[in-house]
Structure 1
């Protein structure tokens, strides 16, 4: 082995590789959140005596392998090194292989400490802190420095062959990426400008907001420059994050065009494959082979002996290199292990991860956790980034349903009846007080009521915390035969309480009563910036791209992007003569005018269709409005084919809707603005020749949105703009973008609402549009 060989690994990653064995077991759950873990570590440190050292940085080297990390705490007086682990419930439920992993970590830290401080021996302690009660359990061992050194060497030797392979892979990968060629003869108009902006963002460690039009090839235009930047900027990993499944497919197709693929294809003389490990992450529900079984060895055959079979599966997976959903499942089935958790493991070892935005931005995001734990220089690409504001709001929101609590209280085991009973009474008190009219007379229990509360209902939150502790204890004592709904309530309560701990001006608390005994309590995030800002700061560079990211200040403010974030707008390659844009400013689609608008909207649809037959999409603000127009349209225009988006469409239903748009066909598809067919679909050529948009896209003027407006006004001074106008126009421009998909496309866009004629609205529309007013459908 070369003495110059250098490979760095974190203590946790080393032990995860060398010390895990036996079954996959998630019964000792739910684990505390990252925030609760940090608070727990701080609590333990605060209880120790003077001179106690917290977060002790340690590192050491064996045969060119550099191992480093931070030990949780060291007491020099007692000569005791501590590894702190937070947990919930009965500690005896912890699987033995979890405990073995914890001991391995503290022993490696002990070896590093003894070597660094020239100690002859040390006490090693595992400190288990029960997060609900604050109770500590200490397990202690005495070790000599020589014993710990032997243990450290054994772990390093176990890992060294893999480390050498990883180092060799990194060299091959970086060398190939230095010579990576663009896969087409030339760049499309605007694509080079986009690529240059992405590369500069990586080179300067900045965030980039780039608005680039549909049709220029944004996916490959962002992947290519960032891949070429990886060796030059020392990037360890890249994440391509999407909002929907089709976005993942586009990214994987682009990576394949750039040369990524199965390594073993080289042996078959099919092609020369770029030495780039690509992993597709999918949701657990879609990857699970046994959805009817629990995730532990006694229930699921793919969890039994998972860690014993993992090394061979991991070896086979990285030998392939290309690990989309199908390939990952093939490896998992071949080695009889869970494909979902195999994917979680391989996220440690793959160069490019393609997944959902939740994998980096939500509270317990795996990719963010791995990057932090391993010190990665991670670059992030976010596709369709105009959706990130709403997606992030959802990540940091939670709600509880009174009906579930009432139902479980009636069927609860004896040990839970008292805490659930207290919770039921707190619910009743909250609903009674929150829903009482200002005059003092209680409203009808059957009448729907919505209230934005002044703050958190502290008494109910306290009761929720007590209930969570009681349910956790019960599940600890009765792990078999657990009521799934009881466990689901526990997860919901814990999620709610975690957000309650961080409640502030970025969120509000509301109560919606739908009838007697049916109220929903929610914590709704309004400004995700406070949660997302640390994620942007942690990444080496983040590029957010979409066709609709204007105005830039809206996304900077609401997402918490750094002040040095760069704004880039790529000029559209399309020209005004490709899209005939007309405004019907004699039509109002406001709620009060909606019934009167049906007839002129139907007349405009039929007039345009008869003037230029082909495929069209017509977008409306709601299903109710859509259905009213569709009914009148079918009555008056039976000869024109029409089909409609419906509530709760399955994936097969959505595919059938889009299948109607065949080349050379004719008809009008009715859809809801902001829904499944308003963005992310591609109908080039004559598969779609026009669109009608009968709404300004504004969110409803209800109590929630008015509260959102007030909060955004208070924080940014742009309440109406941020709560209503910008989100609405983003939906409009996205839907309109379905019409022109390439340089040869021609089409028509009809905007039906008088507000589209306002100067401030037209100033927010794409600059390449040339808008004409059409005040009467016959003019």
Structure 2
């Protein structure tokens, strides 16, 4: 069976040379590129052909792709490239790559149609001026065939290696055994759902409790589906770095042993974390790791993929030995990896790298999205944009005269925006046409400026202003019922008024639907996805998405859940609730000393209760979550949960310690949740409620209740992590006793009402103090 490769991938592999050069130059967006191709094709004659599917073989290599256009009257094959600005600034290696693609397509067309010779044209279309610049060469079929075969020979050794890797990988995966003696309760059910999703090409929404081994179970199952379902790659996506590490650990575990499949695993990390020279720009004149990057890439790529397991540390070591950029080495390695582990944004964002690669290379991918209850809020941020009047005014100070005039017009447009906002009684539904027109003119002026500027000479504030305008306009063009406009006038009446306008996404479903459609299968899993209709509506999952609610492996005897209904945690009642909550924590600690986590809805509420508890019980160790904790501070917070330890930690619900942390055994014996976790009542959330009521008929539930209770269940899930764990959870608020709320809590919980609180003792007795034992 031939090894299949796209024309673009073949040429990128064999024809890229020189520096990595990421100096800023204006480039068309994907939509502008498509529109440019269509406009060029529309200028051609009636017999002009577009998107011609071509394929050809050389030895064990199958090359496939789609040529941009062919004019049979002139016998001319065109490779169309969109651009902005002066073509003279185009790097020579780019033109070299474009000619390589044109020549490969040229031979495939000659072969398919029996042509003896062919005109090849590189057609560069300027998006701004809509002018074409063409470079034409005539080639015989024989010369094109020779060029094609030379490219194929360059690739064949690599292709043979890749084919051997895939065959060995698939054979190894067929024999892959689960890495434990048996599945945990619920783990097999989850694994089966993942496999069936891949086999049927469906998405899966799986609610699976903490502690069943979701990570290793889902990765094992999707790997077993790779060969029978012809999957090219697996993407494991997470919301936090802790999830990435769990996935890497599971992949490493599955790859151990002499009989284990040889898997290539790549971790993608953020550019600012991977960069070795943050004080340098990404081009050969500045950064030594960009200089000659593509010349050194083949050796670095070979060593990296031979290593197989490429977490951030391993990638950095390989990159250092070959003096290449580790961030872009990771991107290159992901093209040839079996498993790619990274953040949600690498696949779900508007310009997501993995999604783009999937479409370009026509990969069949299986996507696993961990802790998927986070995806709604994360996607809202991905598809929102903001403009700040003060920032645009500041950028104007360093701008040329032509751009100053355009930005001045935008500045005057804020006046129209204020007027429209006032006329709409603070509920602006549409952006004024004049304001949008001014933004477009400013964007065009900035585009023209950067198109003529020397590469990399862009002024920072001015470049940022252009990016902000482009991002805002992009979302303005797709503005609809899924988003709202938020206007804030921060200095009304002053000599220099300052306002902000934000397109705030509320329902990410329309943007995420193409992401689900682009994959063979997507499994979203979490301990908190109930009810499924909420996730399907908000994320835009297909209607045939399978829902799986995995039974918990834990029994009600392991977790004592008590509702404290005599204390209200509503905002108006928080001051008077501090003493009763502090007393409740002290009573539980006095009855069973150990490590506890107490969750609150805000830092202010947390500090209020923590201060009260410290005042009443200074002998009990207390540590609190602080605003803006860095990674080291978060680690220090968690390190205090030692086996056999005692103390009370105070944290914010939905923050760093409300999910994704694993405190097994007696490192944590109980939790107090002093809130339903519902978002604050504010103008944005009230607007969200109204919009969701209009679209789905479930405004309060979708805006407040479901997101809040997801946080509660996640926080409570920190207590029971294994079959051996025992603990207690107090749900503090009378609303937890309501049937509508109880229905959304885990079915395996046996919930009871806490008895009336006794009077607090003056001090916790010495035998219950910090040195006492745990559960």
- Please tell me the TM-score bracket, short chain as reference: over 0.9
| Residues 142 and 503 (structure 1), Cα distance of their counterparts in 2 relative to 1, 3 Å cut | farther
Query: How many residues matched?
Result: 754
Matched, 1:502 2:478: yes
Which residue among 285, 304, 327 is the counterpart of 1:317?
304
Q: 1:393 aligns with which of 360, 370, 380?
A: 380
Shift of 1:354: 0.9
Post-superposition offset of 1:775? 6.0
Task: Pick closer, same or farther for the CA change 1:46–1:595 going to 2, 3 Å.
Answer: farther
Taking the TM superposition and a 5 Å limit, the aligned residue runs for 1:463-502 are 463-475=438-450, 476-479=452-455, 481-502=457-478
Aligned to 1:172: 168
Match of 1:266 in 2: none
Corresponding residue SS for 1:230: coil
Distance 1:657 1:436, change over 3 A: farther
Distance 1:437 1:490 in 2: 29
Q: What root-mean-square deviation, in Å, do the aligned CA atoms of Structure 1 and Structure 2 show? A: 1.9
Aligned partners of 1:778, 1:33: CA distance in 2, in Å?
Answer: 66
Aligned pair in 2 of structure 1 residues 628, 133: CA closer, same or farther (>3 Å)? farther
Quote the offset at 1:408 in angstroms: 1.4
Following superposition of structure 1 onto structure 2, how do residues 89-488 of structure 1 map, counting pairs within 5 Å? 89-259=85-255, 274-431=261-418, 433-435=420-422, 451-475=426-450, 476-479=452-455, 481-488=457-464
- 1:635 to partner: Cα distance: 2.4
Q: Aligned in 2, Cα 1:711/1:90: closer, same or farther, shift over 3 Å?
A: farther
Tell me the SS of whatever aligns to 2:623. strand
Shift of 1:389: 1.2
2:31 to 30, 35, 50: 35
Structure 1 Cα separation of the partners of residues 638 and 510 of structure 2: 39
- 2:555 maps to 575
8 Å Cα contact 1:278/1:322 also seen in 2: yes
Please tell me whether the aligned partners of residues 33 and 364 of structure 1 are also in contact (alpha carbons under 8 angstroms).
no
**2:489 aligns with one of 513, 525, 537:** 513
Q: How many Å separate the matches in 1 of 2:652 and 2:196?
A: 38
CA distance in 2, matches of 1:665, 1:65: 62
What is the rounded CA distance, in whole Å, between the counterparts of 1:698 and 1:771 in structure 2?
A: 20
Equivalent residue number for residue 653 of structure 1: 633
Q: Is contact 1:452-1:704 (8 Å) kept?
A: no
For the 8 Å contact 2:658–2:715, the answer to whether it is kept is yes
1:155 Cα deviation from its structure 2 partner:
1.0
Could you list the runs of 5+ residues in structure 1 that have no partner in the other structure? 261-269, 439-450
Structure 1 residue 577 displacement after superposition: 1.5
1:543, 1:247 → 2: CA distance? 15
Q: CA deviation at 1:636?
A: 2.6
Query: CA shift at 1:466, angstroms?
Result: 2.3
Cα gap change, 1:96 to 1:635, in 2 (>3 Å): same
How much has 1:766 moved relative to structure 2?
0.3
Q: Report the CA distance shift for 1:108/1:468 in structure 2 as closer, same or farther (over 3 A).
A: same
Superposed CA offset, 1:378-437 (max 9, x none): 111111111111111111111122221111123334342212222222234323542579
**Quick one: distance in 2 between partners of 1:456 and 1:425?**
14
1:11 corresponds in structure 2 to: 7
Q: Determine the C-alpha separation between the residues in 1 that align with 2:324 and 2:67.
A: 32
1:559 aligns with 2:539: yes
Q: TM-score, normalised by structure 1?
A: 0.94
* Residue 499 to residue 277, structure 1, CA distance change in 2 (3 Å): same
Deviation at 1:452, TM superposition (A): 4.3
CA displacement at 1:220 relative to structure 2: 0.6
Q: 1:70 aligns with which of 42, 50, 66?
A: 66
- Deviation at 1:272? 6.0
Q: Is the 8 A contact 1:30 1:491 kept in 2?
A: no
Contact 1:89/1:469, CA 8 A, preserved across alignment: no
Q: Tell me, what secondary structure is at the counterpart of 2:125?
A: strand
Deviation (angstroms), 1:481: 4.5
Task: Specify the alignment match of 1:51 in structure 2.
Answer: 47
Which residue in 2 is equivalent to 1:700?
680
CA–CA distance in structure 1, aligned partners of residues 125 and 474 of structure 2: 17
State the match for 2:609 in structure 1. Answer: 629
Partner SS, residue 411 of structure 1: coil
Instruction: Output the CA distance in 2 between the equivalents of 1:480 and 1:351.
Output: 35
What TM-score comes out, normalization by structure 2 length? 0.94
- Say yes or no: does 1:766 pair with 2:746: yes
Partner of 1:644: 624
Q: Give the CA deviation at 1:22.
A: 0.7
SS at match of 1:515: coil
1:34·1:364 contact (CA, 8 Å) conserved in 2?
A: no
**Number of the residue aligned with 2:595:** 615
After TM superposition, give the deviation of residue 139 of structure 1 in Å: 2.8
Task: Label 1:71 to 1:480 Cα distance change in 2 as closer, same or farther (>3 A).
Answer: closer
Aligned equivalents of 1:693, 1:581: Cα separation in 2: 11
CA distance in 2, matches of 1:752, 1:377: 47
* Counterparts in 2 of 1:458 and 1:125: CA distance versus 1, 3 Å: farther
Q: Does 1:727 find its partner at 2:707?
A: yes
Q: Which segment is superposed worse, 628-637 or 49-58?
A: 628-637
Preserved CA contact (<8 Å) 1:212 1:545: yes
The 2-side partners of 1:164 and 1:51 are apart by 40
In the aligned structure 2, how far is the partner of 1:676 from the partner of 1:179? 39
- Summarize deviations over 1:2-47 as a string: whole Å, max 9, x none: xxx5111101100110111011112253533323322332232233
Measured after TM superposition, the shift of residue 605 of structure 1 is: 2.0
Alpha-carbon separation, structure 1, partners of 2:725 and 2:516: 37
Correspondent of 1:24 among 20, 37, 54? 20
* Structure 2 alignment gaps of length 5 or more: 760-775
Q: Which residue does the alignment assign to 2:772?
A: none
